[in-house]
Amino acid sequence: MVVVTGQNKVSGNPDDAMSSSDAEDDFQEPATPTATQAGQALPLLPQQFPEVVPLNVGGMHFTTRLSTLRRYEDTMLAAMFSGRHYIPTDAEGRYFIDRDGTYFGDILNFLRSGDLPPRERVRSVYKEAQYYSVGPLLDSLEDIQPLKGEKVRQAFLGLMPYYKDHLERIIEIAKLRAMQRKARFAKLKVCVFKEEMPITPYECPHFNSLRFERSESEPKLFEHHCEVDVSFGPWEAVADVYDLLHCIVTDLSARGITVDHQCIGVCDKHLINHYYCKRPIYEFKITWW
């Protein structure tokens, strides 16, 4: 029997009909895979790690025990060094983690002996603990300052309607004014008021407005908005106006914005009869460079 491959040419009269062997030339069964090809198709074997593991975290070198990295089973580090995943190595054979290693030593110290970082590094270490999913470290950091205080602060800000939206409005207004005037800074007026109880028997505050019913026989509604750029309040909590001002300045500063503020008076808008608004108004100065 003659076996015809796709590389062989069949000679014959061009007028002859195509034989069945010629028709089969267009389809060939794949060749049996070689041993090398079969080995490449197999899954990689679990990666083996030494008992003492050299690490390169973003260019910073560390050395620790394998058991330290596997201290808590549900962390990213335990998963990375479980053998189920391939970890690349650098030229010196250190296992490479593509992450800034500035605070990795604090992560290792907690895994080794439960040590917590000093207060000035708590926020940064907390961010790294989130990345590596070190749950016990996250829980410990949340119970100390400054993260504990931040929880209390956020609980207060949760009472403030549209707080984050008002912050964005302050930034947007200040940016537009500075660009329009080609100035290094911009000023805007901000009203911050706390009204636990109505100032007058007629007053019924609703977010950033004052509403009055003139009398029972005249149910016409009067609504007042202070002539400012942004208005915060009212709220019901022990924290006062100065506490909210501190929150505003803190959150703006955290975004790299330089801000100064001072009280420039009160809203003197006449409301009804001999009653006036009297809400405090602050001038915010945002410096851009």
pLDDT tens readout for residues 84-104: 989 999 999 999 999 999 999
- Residue 29 is which amino acid? E
State the CB neighbour count (10 A cutoff) for residue 230: 22
185 and 135 assigned to the same domain: no
* 139 and 163 part of one domain: no
22 domain-assigned:
no
The pLDDT of residue 208 is 43
Residue 269's pLDDT band (cuts 50, 70, 90):
confident
Q: Which of 144, 169, 184 is the last residue of a domain?
A: 144
Q: For residue 272, what are the β-bridge partners?
A: 275
What's the whole-model pTM score?
A: 0.66
> Which tokens sit at 44?
């990689």
Given this model, what pLDDT does residue 274 score?
Answer: 63
In angstroms, the CA 232 to CA 166 distance is: 8
Residues 283 and 162 in one domain: yes
Residues 166 and 273 in one domain: yes
Of 246, 252, 284, 233, whose CA–CA distance to 153 is shortest? 246
CA distance 42 to 179: 62
Percent of the chain past pLDDT 70, that is, above it, reads 73
Tell whether omega for the bond before 146 is within 30 degrees of 0, i.e. cis. yes
Does one domain contain both 192 and 258?
yes
User: In this structure, is residue 208 part of a structural domain?
Assistant: no
Its domain, for residue 120, covers 52-144
What pLDDT is attached to residue 273?
Answer: 66
Instruction: Identify the CA nearest to 174 among candidates 190, 162, 186.
Output: 186
* β-strand pairing of 218-224 with 209-215: antiparallel
User: Is 177 found in the same domain as 60?
Assistant: no
Do 179 and 105 lie in a common domain?
no
Sign of CA dihedral 118, 123, 128, 131: positive
> Are 283 and 175 members of one domain?
yes
The predicted model gives 139-159 an average pLDDT of: 94
Same domain (yes/no): 104, 169: no
Mean pLDDT of the chain: 82
Task: Report the number of distinct structural domains present in the chain.
Answer: 2
Asked if residue 272 and residue 177 are part of one domain, the reply reads yes
For residue 137, name the pLDDT band (cuts at 50, 70, 90). Answer: very high
Separation of alpha carbons 177 and 184, rounded Å: 10
Q: How far apart are CA 49 and CA 68, in angstroms?
A: 13
| Assigned domain for 263 exists | yes
Q: What are phi and psi of 205, to 5 degrees?
A: -65, 140
- Residues 60 and 137 reside in one and the same domain: yes
Residue 205 in this model has a pLDDT that exceeds 80: no
**pLDDT tens digits, one per residue of 213-247:** 445 544 444 567 889 999 998 888 889 999 999 99
Q: Are residues 168 and 257 in the same domain?
A: yes
